Structure 1
Amino acid sequence: MTELFRLGLLDAGTAMRAGVFSSEAYTRALLERIAALEPTVKAFAWLDADQALARARACDASPLRADGKDCLHGIPLAVKDVIDTAGIPTACGTPIYSGRVPQTSAAVVRKLEDAGGFVLGKTVTAELAFYAPGVTRNPWNPAHTPGGSSSGSAAAVAAGFVPAALGTQTNGSVIRPAAFCGVVGFKPSSGLVSRAGVLQFSKTLDHVGVFARCVDDAARLTCCLAGFDPADAAGVDAPHVLCSPGEKLPARTAPPRLALVRSPVWFEAEIYQRENLLTLASRFANADAVVEEVALPPLFEEAHRLHHIIMYGEGARALRPLQAAHRAELSPQLNALIDEGLAISDAEIEQALAQRLKLNGEMRAILNQYDAIITPPAIGEAPATLEHTGDPLFCTIWTLTGLPAVTLPSGFGPHGLPLGMQLVGGYLRDDRLLGVAKWCERIIGLAPLLAPITPN
């Protein structure tokens, strides 16, 4: 029998529903894997094995629902430590919040619990979801960063600690670590998944996303999390955007129309990352996809500057009270952001937001002609450092415009670490994007990957 920790979300759920094994047995297998490898990976900010097993036993004792809406029944999941969890510490990667235990869970946690899943552990985040890294290491090579700021979530999925995990992205904090760790990362359209109960960095740019080891698993988890929430000011009511919870993502049979976008930062990528993308584009074309190179309009030359103004300006205003009370306890990187962001005027932020809307219109015109864009998710392999989490510049445009984005494992770099390929879809066309990603995943033939890490 396959070692249980190797099973993904859908496979584990199907087996549990069929009575092949219990949630307790699956959770125990994950905890054994964690006990062996967590001293090296350091993915978790909080983990209580006894509590996890108690939650698994409670799932086993609960009858399955007739309506099938408990489609995560018995599944243990990891949650980034900027997402509130009732009765479980949520420290947001800073000693300032050490010992903070929320009384109410974030909307996404309540949704995963309503679907029958439970929180196995809280994963390490960069400080307050910005750049100062946590302790997590890349499971493919512990001398390399796992990316950030959702570092622990990406590493936990890649190491086989959990079948899927929640993260957040304000620039590249889902897509980049997923690419670095060789897993699937999905950032849904802005407003599709509630941010209520999640640390606010930028009210415009913050997204909740997911990590999994295949597209089907990412789609299932996102379907359970999505839905309009009036508590999130950016929430949208779009029930048609994803498959219903409990349904499997339909297989796409028709080859897609793909726009190969190099973007203004194309030459910032390592040559092997660029070659990887171009090779994949040829493979897709050989599989009868339409692949056409598309240049972004000149307005996108300003995209990174606009994102910087919005993220720094809004981030500084959100974190100003914390800095006023705890400046000495914040990292130099975060203090610099707040100081710079407070020097950005409200008028500059408003002007950047207005320009953002123009970019959105330009992007709609492109994506009305294609099923998805293909582009790099990162500069290349995970850098050989634990001092920073890598550059998010290949994610910036797609986060700024609020478009759904997914990264797939797409090969390996010169040091044997994973490379990724990013696909971007039309706004609120998440179902179409995931269908294209599933088609590409099949052609690439790599997922699901599990990092070949061994105990020290």
Structure 2
Amino acid sequence: MTLATDSSLRALVAGLHQGDLSSAALTEACLARLAEREAEIGAWAWCDPEAARAKARAADAVPAKGLLHGIPVGIKDIMHTAGIPTGMGSPIFDGFVPETSAEVVARIEAAGGFVLGKTVTAELAYYTPGKTRNPWHLAHTPGGSSSGSAAAVAAGMVPAALGSQTNGSVIRPAAYCGVVGFKPSAGNVPTRGILRFSGTLDQVGLFVREVTDAGLLGAVLSEADALAEVVPPARPPRLRAVRSPAWPEAEPAQRQMFEANLAALRAAGAEVVEQELPAVFDDAHAVHRTIMAFEAAKQMVPLYVEHAQQMSLPLRQIIAEGLAIETADYRAALARRLDLRLALAEWLGEADAIVTPPAAGEAPATLTHTGSPAFCTIWSLTGVPALTFPVGLGPRGLPLGLQLVGGLNEDAALLASATWCAERIGFSGQPA
């Protein structure tokens, strides 16, 4: 096959299984792109080219059988990797090398894939960004906290990468960097061996180049074979168009793109009903904040006691905020979360998916913060599956996306609807 570093994961898997492509050739192409662009983008916290080449040669030495056989994958640097440094985006963990890997890494390796390297994360997966820049425009943020994973896939350094989302840390960077980001339903992908920030809200996600690639990697991570062969539905999907309480944050270009997307989907035959979430969701963002701050404080206090001076001001602030929350208020927020999950399922009804913006607009022209997660908060709170794919470019030449949200544990149905929508809307473009 003709090898391009922007080839889809599915095409690469097919080439490896059919013998038209070697893992060594694929890995060499990834490393060449990494060498070409890493100095300016800064997507990687750790990468050992010789170790990657050895793993590729080992994959080529045996028959292809696993779903990801011979595929190099980027791993967010909050996920433990046996024998490989895991720095968590913080000097507190300088020199930390886990003895065992996170369960998601073990599943990738069991499927025949291997770790190409560790991708940059915001500090302890929260707010303060790392060194990564947006491949489309180096003066713009790639989003966070899974910044390195999104940028590495967008720049063609790796065909797939893992991230995590507590608020908007998969969907937002995917939208900013013009790739597909997928967050499966909460609980469907294990979080063992991953830095915990908010045990209730932390969810594993992934970055790939095409919607069908998300099903392939998602099948490995969730051990759900049905995701691997997702195809568009036989009939046009029934969609709920939701601007959400975050709509006032949307930039004019994102608003115009969303309206154009709705028109295109209707023209293609989809049933698109524009309807806002009921008033019961008015406090959803506050509920999310209460849970996240309370749990982050409890999780981070031991680190804070010993390493406060090595923590950024925003991290110290959320710890203080969380410590000030009464336990009764936290428990009430947990109960509200369950109520909102049920309310969302009832409101969605027979619809196949929600369509909504993934972010306020193009990636902001800053490297000091990673943009607002507001368009992701409700879906992270309720734990439902969410996916974004690129649909066009904004006035500054950076990507804009469209987010689809499905019913809880209806991941395959969401991927099917997203495949249909992505095929009808289309997108072409690569970062320079």
TM-score with structure 1 setting the length: 0.93
Q: Cα distance, 1:440 vs. partner?
A: 0.6
Q: CA deviation at 1:64?
A: 2.7
Q: How far does residue 156 in structure 1 lie from its aligned partner after superposition?
A: 0.3
List alignment gaps of at least 5 residues for structure 1: 228-238
Matches of 1:42 and 1:386, distance apart in 2: 12
Match of 1:450 in 2: 430
Q: Partners in 1 of 2:21 and 2:406 — Cα distance?
A: 38
Name the structure 2 match of 1:315: 296
Q: CA–CA distance in 2 between the matches of 1:433 and 1:207? A: 17
User: Please, what TM-score do these two structures have when normalized by structure 2?
Assistant: 0.98
Amino acid at match of 1:19: G
SS of residue in 2 equivalent to 1:203: coil
Name which of 335, 351, 356 aligns with 1:354. Answer: 335
Q: 2:332 and 2:7 mapped to 1: Cα distance?
A: 48
Q: Is residue 243 of structure 1 aligned with residue 226 of structure 2?
A: yes
Q: Which residue of 1 aligns with 2:28?
A: 28
Deviation at 1:369, TM superposition (A): 2.3
User: Amino acid of the residue matched to residue 207 of structure 1?
Assistant: Q
Paired position in structure 2 for 1:71: 67
Partner of 1:58: 58
Q: CA deviation at 1:16?
A: 1.6
RMSD: 1.1
CA shift at 1:410, angstroms?
Answer: 1.3
Which residues in structure 2 correspond to 1:231-380 (within 5 Å)?
A: 239=224, 243=226, 247-380=228-361
Match of 1:190 in 2: 186
Shift, 1:3, TM fit = 4.1
Identity of aligned residues (%): 54
Corresponding residue of 2:213: 217
Partner of 1:141: 137
1:83-113 per-residue CA deviation (whole Å, 9 max, x = no partner) reads 1000100010001101100000000000000
For 1:289, the aligned partner's letter is A
| Aligned residue type for 2:63 | P
Query: Within 2, Cα distance between the matches of 1:89 and 1:98?
Result: 8
Structure-1 residue corresponding to 2:398: 417
- 2:330 and 2:21 map into 1 onto residues whose CA distance is 54
- Any stretches of 5+ residues in structure 2 without a counterpart? none
1:225-249 Cα offsets, whole Å, 9 max, x none, are 104xxxxxxxxxxx5xx616xx422
Distance 1:287 1:26 in 2: 37
Q: How far did 1:445 drift?
A: 1.2
Residue 409 of structure 2 corresponds to: 428
Counterpart code for 1:221: L
Provide the rounded CA distance (Å) in 1 between the counterparts of 2:316 and 2:95: 22
Q: How many residues align?
A: 432
* Contact 2:212 2:419 (8 Å CA) reproduced: yes
- C-alpha distance in 2 between matches for 1:62 and 1:342: 53
Report if the CA contact (8 A) 2:185-2:383 is conserved: yes
Cα distance in 1 between the residues matched to 2:333 and 2:252: 32
Deviations 1:306-345 (A, max 9, x none): 1110001101111110001100000001001101111111
> Would you say the 8 A contact 1:185–1:212 is kept in 2?
yes
Contact 1:4 1:30 in 2 (8 A): no
TM superposition shift of 1:180: 0.1
What is the DSSP-based 3-state SS (H/G/I as helix, E as strand, rest coil) of the residue aligned with 1:211? strand
Provide the rounded CA distance (Å) in 2 between the counterparts of 1:220 and 1:13. Answer: 9
- Separation of aligned partners in 2, 1:253 and 1:155: 34
Counterpart amino acid of 2:165? Q
Does the Cα contact within 8 Å between 1:160 and 1:450 map onto a contact in 2?
Answer: no
* Contact persistence 1:368–1:426 (CA under 8 A): no
What SS does structure 2 have at the residue aligned with 1:438? helix
Partners of 1:395 and 1:170 lie apart in 2 by 9
